[in-house]
Amino acid sequence: MSWRKDKDDGRAERGYHHGNLKEALLQAALDLITKKGPAGFTFADAARMAGVSPAAPYRHFRDRDELIASIAQRGFEQFEALLTQAWDDGRPDTVTAFERVGKAYLAFARQEPAFYSAMFESGLPADANPTLMAASERAFAIIRAAAERLAALAPPGMPRPPAMMMALHIWSMSHGVASLFGRGDAARRKLPMSPEDLLEAEVLIYLRGLGFPTDRRPGAAVSDDKPAGPWGKPK
């Protein structure tokens, strides 16, 4: 995965021009954010890692914030792709696919903590960046579309929940779990279950509160004879 023209030995031989500095800086920034958090990340450090002078990055990014915004942008794009794939247009059935979206959300936060912090925890001025906002909107649109389909399936006899509200609820649950329990080298708090299971149970209970059948067997309905809880069977 080297972009160098000839040798790929780090930063050794290189002409006056780097050739792919913008990409190299984004990659370096990602590495640094992964290691030291978005606050600890340093513009100068990224330049050093790419083997250029501290002033070089300014040819590609107006300032440090624009670099972070670029990373967030890219993050939202990957995020959208991942969610789209997880949703898979509601296959094989809406509830299963919906659950998968929740899991994908958490998986992204855990596997790409650098992207995730750039996207949600870097304190960027939201209004200052319309294209970033649009990217975030597109990612959220996946969740919203899934909620739309789910809402349409609301069991008769129940009031139909607003899809937008459902989407916001799911988002807040996922973000809450990801942000509180999802990252950190070790679990910063002892949990009785994995973040994945925690989120899955949360979403299932929520869906049940809306009247959806949450058994895994397709076609199963909400039964009234001591249904098993979504948090696993007591052993």
What residues make contact with a copy of itself under the rule CB under 8 A?
Answer: 37-40, 120-121, 123, 126-127, 157-159, 161-162, 164-165, 168-169, 171-177, 179-181, 184, 186, 188-189, 191-193, 198-199, 201-202, 204-210, 224, 226-229, 231, 234
- Cα dist from 82 to 64, 100, 117, 142, 166, whole Å: 27, 11, 17, 10, 20
C-alpha closest to that of 195 among 209, 208, 207, 179? 179
Distance (Å, whole) CA 172 – CA 170: 5
Residue pair 167/98 in contact by the 8 Å Cβ criterion: no
Residue pair 34/109 in contact by the 8 Å Cβ criterion: no
Q: Which is nearer to a copy of itself, 52 or 119 (CB)?
A: 119
Q: Which is nearer to DNA, 36 or 91 (CB)?
A: 36
Contacted by 58, from a copy of itself, DNA, none: CB < 5 to 8 Å by type:
DNA
Instruction: Please choose, out of 49-57, 144-152, 153-161, 211-219, the segment that lies near DNA by the rule CB under 7 A.
Output: 49-57
Contacted by 72, from DNA, a copy of itself, none: CB < 5 to 8 Å by type:
none
Q: How many CA atoms lie within 13 A of 155 on its CB side?
A: 15
- Cα dist from 86 to 102, 155, 205, whole Å: 9, 24, 21
Q: Which of 18, 68, 124, 178 touches DNA by CB under 7 A? A: 18
The residues that touch DNA, with contacts defined as CB under 7 A, are 15-19, 21, 42-45, 52-56, 58-60, 62-65
